[in-house]
């Protein structure tokens, strides 16, 4: 374990060496982990557990996800079951379906929770916003969370590359006295690299804010704003795309990931440094009130209610695909489709 102290805020980071694979297997020796759902997180976490030799089964509806699982080597009736069949067999139930689907399936999951079982989430949404979801775990089970800081695809790809992904963990309810060990062992079983502690509330509040802001919403908005400004002033699609996206993702952002923002600044020209240092405070002053507004919307539950209402509609998938097509059809991303194959590694 590694203790860190940032401006007086002390945290303990749990590393892989604290819970080596054999220790995790000892902790989970008598457990059967039933993963419900085969979306990005369900697929990534289940395959990583299976590849590392843990007792894991899948619970899915028959259809597209079921067929994908069969292609991935899961065996019908052996480690692949319909949802209620898997829930009935599991002592740790990983509830990894969408937030809206969790509301619909909660009665079935609750019915299959036995005394001393563990209920596992990778997102605190259902429990934190229980007034809207009605997901209130019974008192006689452990309730735990492991939230990888990346998509399920990243969870899987990092594992295949021999790397781990940072994850947060939380203990919402420790009925058995073993909740932390079960949680941490499962975290490393799914491919985490190191863990930091949080709560269900803090996880969902930070996650919803991040997704709406710098991780996705703000990123798309900022990229599009700059691209449009450049195009409106006569720059070609190639120039606007490269200056907005290609240079950011392929050159500069990896430097930030490697050693921090100051490292990226230090490896750019003095002209770039000066402009970035001058303009960064203006963007911060403009954006901070917007991010604060977003956070307050998350805190009040308004964002959760919007998501539940929208994602529960019968035509949700159809409308989602329409909105995603609108992004895909933007000139900026159409330019990207033609320019990405021209990267040196692709030629």
Given 198, 222, 257, the domain boundary residue is 198
Has residue 205 been placed in a domain? no
Task: Verify that 166 and 243 share a domain, yes or no.
Answer: no
| Bridge pairing between strands 9-15 and 192-197 | antiparallel
Task: Verify that 31 and 166 share a domain, yes or no.
Answer: yes
Question: For residue 105, what pLDDT is reported?
Answer: 96
Question: For residue 344, what pLDDT is reported?
Answer: 79
Has residue 43 been placed in a domain? yes
Question: For residue 345, what pLDDT is reported?
Answer: 74
Residue 186 belongs to domain with CATH number: 3.40.50.720
Question: For residue 14, what pLDDT is reported?
Answer: 95
Question: For residue 15, what pLDDT is reported?
Answer: 94
123 is catalytic: yes
Question: For residue 347, what pLDDT is reported?
Answer: 61
Has residue 143 been placed in a domain? yes
Query: Range of 100's domain?
Result: 2-198
Task: Verify that 69 and 92 share a domain, yes or no.
Answer: yes
Q: Which residues of the chain have pLDDT under 70?
A: 347
Task: Verify that 22 and 81 share a domain, yes or no.
Answer: yes
* Placement of tokens 């969902």 in the chain: 204
Has residue 181 been placed in a domain? yes
What's the number of domains the chain is made of?
2
Question: For residue 167, what pLDDT is reported?
Answer: 96
Global pTM reads 0.90
Residue 347 burial (10 A CB sphere; 0-12, 13-18, 19+): exposed
Task: Verify that 109 and 152 share a domain, yes or no.
Answer: yes
Task: Verify that 263 and 167 share a domain, yes or no.
Answer: no
Given 148, 176, 198, the domain boundary residue is 198
CA distance 75 to 173: 33
Has residue 139 been placed in a domain? yes
Residue 338 burial (10 A CB sphere; 0-12, 13-18, 19+): exposed
Question: For residue 298, what pLDDT is reported?
Answer: 97
Given 153, 170, 198, the domain boundary residue is 198
Task: Verify that 225 and 151 share a domain, yes or no.
Answer: no
- Nearest Cα residue to 86 out of 68, 112, 104: 112
Has residue 242 been placed in a domain? yes
Q: Which of the following is catalytic: 123, 158, 172, 194? A: 123
Q: What are the tens digits of pLDDT across the range 215-251?
A: 999 999 999 999 999 999 999 999 999 999 999 999 9
For 234-272, the DSSP string reads: T--HHHHHIIIIIHIIIIIHHHHHHH-HHHHHHTS-HHH
Q: DSSP H helical segments within 90-197, as ranges?
A: 99-111, 125-128, 130-133, 152-160, 179-189
Question: How far out from the chain centre does Cα 188 lie?
Answer: 16
């Amino acid at each position: 374990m590694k203790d860190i102290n940032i401006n007086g805020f002390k945290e303990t980071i749990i590393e892989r060496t604290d819970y080596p694979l054999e220790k995790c297997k000892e902790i989970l020796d008598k457990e059967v982990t039933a993963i419900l759902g085969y979306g990005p997180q369900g697929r990534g976490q289940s395959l990583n557990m299976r590849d590392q030799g843990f007792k894991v089964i899948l619970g899915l509806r028959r259809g597209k996800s079921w067929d994908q699982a069969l292609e991935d080597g899961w065996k019908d009736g052996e480690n692949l079951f319909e949802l209620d069949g898997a829930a009935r067999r599991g002592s740790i139930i990983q509830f990894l379906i969408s937030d809206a689907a969790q509301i619909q399936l909660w009665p079935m999951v609750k019915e299959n929770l036995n005394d001393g079982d563990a209920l596992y989430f990778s997102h605190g949404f259902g429990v934190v916003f229980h007034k809207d979801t009605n997901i209130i775990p019974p008192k006689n089970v452990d309730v735990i969370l492991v939230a990888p800081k990346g998509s399920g695809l990243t969870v899987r790809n990092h594992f295949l590359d021999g790397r781990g992904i940072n994850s947060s963990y939380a203990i919402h309810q420790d009925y058995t006295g073993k909740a932390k060990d079960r949680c941490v062992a499962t975290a490393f079983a799914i491919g985490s690299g190191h863990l930091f502690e949080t709560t269900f509330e803090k996880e969902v509040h930070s996650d919803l804010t991040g997704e709406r802001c710098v991780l996705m919403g703000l990123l798309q908005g900022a990229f599009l704003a700059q691209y449009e400004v450049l195009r409106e002033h006569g720059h070609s699609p190639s120039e606007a795309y490269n200056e907005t996206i290609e240079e950011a993702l392929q050159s500069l952002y990896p430097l930030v990931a490697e050693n921090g923002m100051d490292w990226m600044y230090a490896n750019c020209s003095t002209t770039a440094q000066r402009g970035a240092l001058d303009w960064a405070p203006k963007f911060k002053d403009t954006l901070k009130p917007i991010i604060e507004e977003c956070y307050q919307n998350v805190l009040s539950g308004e964002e959760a209610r919007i998501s539940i209402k929208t994602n529960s509609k019968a035509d949700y998938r159809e409308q989602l695909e329409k909105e995603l097509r609108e992004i895909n059809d933007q000139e900026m991303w159409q330019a990207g489709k033609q320019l990405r194959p021209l990267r040196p590694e692709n030629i």
